Amino acid sequence: MEFRRGLSYAARAVSPVTPDERREAIAAQVEKAVTNTQVFDIHTHLYDPAFGGLLLWGLDDLLTYHYLVAEAFRYFDMPYDKFWALSKTRQADLIWDALFVQHSPVSEACRGVLTTLNLLGLDVKKRDLPKLRRWFARWKPDAYITRCMEIANVSRVCMTNSPFDDVERAVWEKGFTRDERFTAALRIDPLLLDWPTTAPRLAAWGYKVSSDLSDRTVGEVRRFLADWSRRIHARYVMVSLPPDFVYPGEHLCARLMDTAVLPHCREFGLPFAMMPGARRAVNPQLRLAGDGLGRCNVVSYEAIFAGHPDNKFLITALSRENQHEFCVAARKFRNLHLFGCWWFTNIPHLVNEMTRMRLELIGLSVTPQHSDARVLDQIVYKWDHSRRVISQVLVEKYLDLAQTGWEPTHMEIKRDVKALFGGEFERFCGVPARGEPAGAKPAPRPVTARTPSAAAGVASRS
């Protein structure tokens, strides 16, 4: 039904005629705003094209995503090692056969591959893997990044940047012209979770640390954090934490947080992102696919928020069971910003539940989703699927308001969606105190497309 279509909605309430018309009008406006608003994807595992092969993209990377590996192994009966010894193409063949050909691809991760292919304009119904591969082979990375970001309507992504990754560290140390679409976050899991192994590495890189946490060691850890925050132009510092993390405590993780990480974040004006609930290598034979989850103790996190009112914290928890507790914590601590439906919670059922719960408890002061994409093309499906759910939830919320006579205007809806898709995150983070480093500032994106050879070893797949 045409409902005042063609009229300007700006600054005007959605006037109800009948309940159905009201629903239709609100739904149309919300869907439009959600579709058209660009997203700042605040947590991904994607890389600036200068990192070459670290940026995964294309069909075989989509099919060998660790979410699909875990699902495929439920059908495989081959030994784990035999699978890992295969080429990526062969692994992708086997996953395609098990998850798409032998069974209908109903899981969220499988559906995601098909949504991506479909939105890229490919015909999936023929189930013709070689033909699909030929289409991808025509692309060069730089043009493909632009295409995927256009389709996903994502303006910027935040990378996950680890100085402890030898390949990645070498690229940062050499230096490169930044692509402004890729912002950085400083990932420090080894520092906080494995100090005995990390201390000798810092020492080898010239930081005068010893295994104890003496004042000198702590000072040097701070120097390390400062160097890397400057070098990568970090937007925030981040760590994933196991479910059994407790705070306060005398263990190395809590002590390093108190003495080095949190003072560093305060000095640089950087939020500290904590991602509780990851149980690493529950099944090591599955490699990256072998991590599990557990419920964390929110009381420990509340102690951190309460004890550090001058720090800002970003939280995304892995366990469904923690979501309500963290919403309540966010009502108590304004230095806490909740974000995303992380990993095992990124399924429509839980995105719906979590988004609804968050809006009902903390309104729009939240970033409801990040993609966590490990493969560039995944931003296409992750944002398509998330947008659908966020849109549904928003429509319900605005309809509830409209019942009271508070009818949202078009401008209000647009404003709210902008907040959810990155605006609130930016507001919460504010301007970094000392986060503007002397070097390594992102350069404006080159107007002319860069060739793969200029992008430091990105292999063309043509």
Between 275 and 394, name the residue whose CB sits nearer to ligand FIX. Answer: 275
| Residue that the structure tokens 């605040």 belong to | 42
Between 242 and 249, name the residue whose CB sits nearer to ligand FIX. Answer: 242
Between 61 and 372, name the residue whose CB sits nearer to Zn ion. Answer: 372
Residue 372 contacts Zn ion per CB under 5 A: yes
Q: What is the largest CA-CA distance in the chain?
A: 72
Between 325 and 372, name the residue whose CB sits nearer to Zn ion. Answer: 372
The half-sphere exposure of 192 on its side-chain side, counting CA atoms within 13 A, is 28
Q: Which does 142 bind (CB under 5 to 8 A by kind): ligand FIX, Zn ion, none?
A: none
Secondary structure of residue 445 in the 3-state scheme: coil
CB of 385 to ligand FIX, least distance (A): 14
Between 48 and 407, name the residue whose CB sits nearer to Zn ion. Answer: 48
3-state secondary structure 5-17: CCCCCCCCECCCC
CB of 445 to Zn ion, least distance (A): 24
CB of 317 to ligand FIX, least distance (A): 12
Residues engaged in binding ligand FIX (CB under 6 A) = 45, 160, 240, 275, 278, 288, 343, 372, 374
Q: CA-CA distance, 411 to 394, in Å (whole number)?
A: 14
> Is the peptide bond prior to 248 cis by the omega test (within 30 degrees of 0)?
yes
CB of 231 to ligand FIX, least distance (A): 20
Q: Which does 288 bind (CB under 5 to 8 A by kind): Zn ion, ligand FIX, none?
A: ligand FIX
Between 42 and 94, name the residue whose CB sits nearer to ligand FIX. Answer: 42
Q: Which does 303 bind (CB under 5 to 8 A by kind): ligand FIX, Zn ion, none?
A: none
CB of 216 to ligand FIX, least distance (A): 31
Q: Which does 220 bind (CB under 5 to 8 A by kind): ligand FIX, Zn ion, none?
A: none
Helices 378-403/19-36 angle, 10° precision: 150
Q: CA-CA distance, 238 to 230, in Å (whole number)?
A: 15
Q: CA-CA distance, 20 to 28, in Å (whole number)?
A: 12
Closest CA to 262 of 221, 293, 232: 221
Residue 412 contacts Zn ion per CB under 5 A: no
The long-range contacts involving 217-221, CB below 8 angstroms and separated by at least 24 positions, are 218/256, 218/259, 218/260, 221/191, 221/256, 221/259, 221/260
**In sequence order, what DSSP letters do the residues of 414-438 get, joined into one string?**
HHHHHIIIIIHHHHHH---SS---S
Residue nearest to Zn ion (CB): 372
CB of 280 to ligand FIX, least distance (A): 8
CB of 372 to ligand FIX, least distance (A): 4
Q: Which does 279 bind (CB under 5 to 8 A by kind): ligand FIX, Zn ion, none?
A: none
